[in-house]
């Protein structure tokens, strides 16, 4: 039988070492490091988080700033290795984690499309075939050969979303980036996510827009200080979260 889950997170904890001191130079850092005078405090951004997302489910993640949402998405995407536990994903995965991640700000939109395609493991031929569709979806026809450091943040987000969704990944991970697009583009993104859902893609969305979560998701996980506070159908979880 085929695997029933697309994403499985097992007892994941993520510990960061945070330096509380302010050091004025790298030299000072190394001197302190050699003398073992650096004080790090351990900070758990995720604490014993476990859940499974079945294939084809659209799951939202909510929580206040710093609750561990982006860290969790990075663990799922394999960008961060958890301190404890493990995350397993099945199938191809398109992570849209940070605005402009995977882009080179000194290159044009055209160059970045090919760069990003290569990073995602797509052939040059395929990117050539998909090029017009990407530009059209992102509505950047007039900016194809503009260096993207001159783009607005919404324009960068459009390009990122257009590239990440040009092929149908088995898993789409979206961290907040829809938020910088204007309302028309957000509607367009939501339509595309609906199309992908219809095609069976598993989607994980982090958003501070509870409306957006309610429109798109079937299930919501609420993170609080790195732990799962609530996990279940959209309505009860969103209502409880809004009641904070
Ligand atoms: N690389 C890192 N080094 C040290 N601490 C980190 C690192 N990345 C995240 N943290 C810490 O982990 C905690 C969770 O951060 P995270 O970015 O996952 O929060 P978030 O829920 O995505 O917040 P937001 O809603 O603001 O995007 C924060 O306290 C943050 O300071
Ligand atoms: Mg975040």
CATH of the domain at 35: 3.40.50.300
Nearest-atom number in ligand 1 for the CA of 64 is: 25
Among protein residues, the one whose CA lies closest to atom 18 of ligand 1: 68
E strands, 55-131, in order: 58-62, 84-89, 93-96
* Span from the CA of 126 to the centroid of ligand 2 (angstroms): 32
Quick one: tokens of 235? 């309505």
List the domain range (segments joined by +) for residue 131: 5-242
The C-alpha atoms of residue 149 and residue 164 are separated, in whole angstroms, by 19
∠ CA 11-16-17, nearest 5°, is 145
- What's the number of domains the chain is made of? 1
Among protein residues, the one whose CA lies closest to atom 12 of ligand 1: 45
Quick one: tokens of 170? 């088995």
Point out which residues pair with 17 in neighbouring strands.
Answer: 42
Among protein residues, the one whose CA lies closest to atom 9 of ligand 1: 71
Q: Are 57 and 231 in contact (CB under 8 A)?
A: no
Protein residues placing their CB within 5 Å of the ion ligand 2: 69-70
* Span from the CA of 64 to the centroid of ligand 1 (angstroms): 11
pLDDT tens digits in sequence order for the chain, 244 residues long = 456 899 999 999 999 987 766 777 888 888 877 777 777 788 999 999 999 999 999 999 999 999 999 999 999 999 899 999 999 999 999 888 876 677 899 999 999 999 988 887 889 999 999 999 999 999 999 999 999 999 998 999 999 989 888 888 899 999 987 778 888 998 998 899 889 889 999 999 999 999 999 999 999 999 999 999 999 999 999 999 999 8
Instruction: Write out residues with Cβ below 6 Å of ligand 1.
Output: 16, 18, 45, 63, 65-71
Among protein residues, the one whose CA lies closest to atom 4 of ligand 1: 16
């Amino acid at each position: 039988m085929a695997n029933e889950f697309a994403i499985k997170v097992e007892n994941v904890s993520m510990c960061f070492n945070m330096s509380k001191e302010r050091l004025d130079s790298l030299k000072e850092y190394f001197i302190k490091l050699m003398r073992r005078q650096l004080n790090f405090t351990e900070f758990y951004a995720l604490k014993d988080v476990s859940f499974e997302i079945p294939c084809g489910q659209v799951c939202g993640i909510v929580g206040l700033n710093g609750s561990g949402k982006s860290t969790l998405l990075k663990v799922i995407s394999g960008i961060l290795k958890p301190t404890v536990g493990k995350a397993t994903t099945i199938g191809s995965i398109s992570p849209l984690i940070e605005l402009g991640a995977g882009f080179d700000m000194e290159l044009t939109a055209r160059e970045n499309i090919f760069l990003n395609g290569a990073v995602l493991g797509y052939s040059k031929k395929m990117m050539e075939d998909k090029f017009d569709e990407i530009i059209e979806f992102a509505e950047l026809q007039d900016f194809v050969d503009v260096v993207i450091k001159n783009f607005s943040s919404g324009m960068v987000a459009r390009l990122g979303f257009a590239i990440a969704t040009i092929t149908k990944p088995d898993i789409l991970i979206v961290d907040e980036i829809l938020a910088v697009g204007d309302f028309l583009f957000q509607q367009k993104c939501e339509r595309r996510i609906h199309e992908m859902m219809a095609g069976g893609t598993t989607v994980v969305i982090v958003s501070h827009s509870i409306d957006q979560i309610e429109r798109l998701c079937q299930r919501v996980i609420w993170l609080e200080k790195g732990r799962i506070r609530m996990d279940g159908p959209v309505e009860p979880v969103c209502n409880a979260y809004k009641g904070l």
